[in-house]
A and B are shown apart, each in its own frame.
Chain A
């Protein structure tokens, strides 16, 4: 069963992308196209424009770049901020999530929370959880996700080694189902899966 059975071909395409921040050109003439089953790791030093690139690809940054971007499929974006409301429980945070992608069944929400190691925390107010647990509540959305395209900005931040391994496993299974993942990360991935790599250099050349 494929999550992208309806659309063959590209899940994301951008061509001749040039990004300027302030008076500095981060990169220019960047072409990215993503097919089902592809995992793209964006690398580069701090300030090379990884986050900016992801925000442009997601459609959050709508100015300050030149180039064409097409997003034919729904996407899931996870940024630095966890989008977890302190006053809501993890269950409510996921069930009423503002990304508006699906009405999740309660059992699905509980299962997703269990997969990120938060079983038993479903109804604890989120302000009692740690920052790492907030992150995991946010990452539980990946388990619920029906979006073929994932754009993940530093998904391994504040996640322990087991968590990293299970996330990597999740990316592979998502890709095998016909999805695609774009992620930024400092650390090398240890996945049994062919990776595409994109190196951003602070000078602008690729």
Chain B
């Protein structure tokens, strides 16, 4: 019986990803909620600042990015919540595979069902706010990269607050400041596309932030999870 060894880190990571995605698909409402939230908040802006197309188009990059940020923020709390509640998290911490890759799988699953999905449907909401078509691809590409950063940073907040009963509001206070660079360069991407300027530098900046977050955020997430399980 000794010959059966534990799965390698990468295959375990893929198994976790598959598990998390299956869980997400089995509860489609949870996948739909961030999108619905996004749609509803986007609908609030014309009511708040007036329906004039030129006004809306001017604010559209900022609105779309801020709402994407909020919907990501609200769903980030759930990355580890159910696994903490049912005891899966303590089992994960005892797994022989490196926790670094395991938490990356959790965050990747969250990114796929919130950020990537939102990036894919973002042109729809861009149209509702009269954002010119020329800026749609850069909006989607920016959201695609930026939401990865937001999921990773959100994962840090989630890991630190998962053990707390009243974590919901706290996580926003902890991680919103860290979202600001993403917001700045995300809206700048859309603005550059609107002005006819090259968008690649901004996408490259968002991409490098994503790389930095992939490298460092799992360390903080792992440490945060160990603290939360131990608390």
Contacts and interface: CB of A to CB of B under 8 A. Distances in A.
A101 B22 CA distance: 20
B23 A87 contact: yes
Given A81-B90, A85-B86, A87-B26, A3 B2 contact: yes
B50 interface: no
Contacts of B27: 87
B2 A98 contact: no
Contacts of B22: 87-88, 92
B82 to A, nearest CB: 8
Interface of A: 1, 3, 5-6, 58-64, 74-75, 77, 79-88, 92, 96-103, 146
Interface stretch (B13-21, B66-74, B132-140): B13-21
Interface in B30-73: none
Contacts of A59: 93-94
27 contacts: A3-B1, A6-B2, A58-B94, A59-B93, A60-B93, A61-B230, A77-B91, A77-B94, A79-B90, A82-B86, A82-B87, A83-B87, A83-B91, A87-B27, A88-B19, A88-B22, A88-B26, A92-B19, A96-B16, A97-B91, A99-B91, A99-B95, A100-B6, A101-B96, A102-B4, A102-B5, A102-B7
Contacts of B6: 74, 100-102
Given A58-B94, A79-B87, A98-B88, A146 B19 contact: no
Nearest to B12: A100
Question: What secondary structure prevails in chain A residues at the interface with B?
Answer: loop
A127 B11 CA distance: 27
Contacts of B2: 3, 5-6, 146
A115 B143 CA distance: 49
Contacts of B18: 96
> Interface extent on B, as a size class?
35 or more
Nearest to A103: B7
B81 interface: no
Contacts of A64: 230
Nearest to A4: B2
Contacts of A80: 87
Given A88-B23, A98-B95, A100-B7, A60 B90 contact: yes
Nearest to B13: A100
B83 interface: yes
Q: Which 6 pairs of residues, A with B, have the shortest CB-CB distance? A: A81-B87, A100-B95, A83-B87, A98-B92, A87-B26, A96-B19
A76 to B, nearest CB: 8
Contact of B23 (A5, A77, A82, A85): A85
Nearest to A61: B230
Contacts of A100: 6-7, 12, 92, 95-97, 102
B158 to A, nearest CB: 16
A85 B104 CA distance: 20
Instruction: Output the residue of A3, A59, A61, A103 with the most chain B CB within 10 A.
Output: A103
Nearest to A5: B2
A5 B15 CA distance: 30
Nearest to B25: A87
A37 to B, nearest CB: 16
A79 B229 CA distance: 12
Contacts of A74: 6, 96
A97 B86 CA distance: 13
Given A87-B26, A101-B95, A60 B86 contact: no
Instruction: Output the residue of A5, A75, A83, A88 with the most chain B CB within 10 A.
Output: A83
Nearest to B16: A98
Nearest to A105: B4
Nearest to B27: A87
Instruction: Output the residue of A59, A61, A87, A92 with the most chain B CB within 10 A.
Output: A87
B96 to A, nearest CB: 6
A184 B11 CA distance: 34
A75 B85 CA distance: 22
A112 B229 CA distance: 29
Contacts of A96: 15-16, 18-19
